[in-house]
Copies of this chain bind each other. A is one copy, B any other.
Amino acid sequence: VDRTELQVLLTRVADGGISPECALDSLVSGPLRDDLGYADLGFARVDTHRELRTGDPEVVFAAGKTAEETVAILCALRETSKERPALATRVPEKTAVAIQAAFAEALIDHAAACAAVGPLPRPRGAVCVVTAGTSDFPVAAEAAFVTRAFGANVEQIRDVGVAGLHRLLAVRRTLDAADCVIVVAGMDGALPTVLAGLIETPLIAVPTSVGYGTSLGGLAPLLTMLNSCAPGVVVCGIDNGFGAGVFAARLARRTG
Report which A residues bind B (CB closer than 8 A).
1, 3, 6-7, 10-11, 13-14, 16, 19-21, 23-24, 27-32, 34, 37-38, 43-45, 47, 49-50, 53-56, 58-59, 61, 63-65, 69, 132-135, 137, 158-167, 169-170, 172-173, 179, 187-190, 193-194, 196-200, 202, 204, 209-240, 242-244, 246-247, 250-251, 254-255
Cβ-defined contact, A162 with B224, below 8 A? no
**Which residues of B have CB within 8 Å of A16?**
14
Cβ-defined contact, B202 with A251, below 8 A? yes
Cβ-defined contact, A32 with B188, below 8 A? no
Cβ-defined contact, B212 with A53, below 8 A? no
Cβ-defined contact, B229 with A159, below 8 A? no
20 inter-chain pairs at a CB distance below 8 angstroms, sorted by A residue, are: A3-B24, A13-B13, A14-B19, A30-B169, A31-B166, A38-B170, A45-B159, A53-B199, A54-B196, A54-B197, A54-B198, A162-B194, A163-B196, A179-B254, A188-B225, A188-B227, A189-B227, A213-B217, A220-B223, A226-B237
Knowing A20-B13, A24-B10, A234-B235 are in contact, say whether A190-B164 is a contact too (CB < 8 A): no
Number of copies of this chain that the complex holds: 8
Chain B residue, CB-CB nearest to A22: B10
Cβ-defined contact, A43 with B158, below 8 A? yes
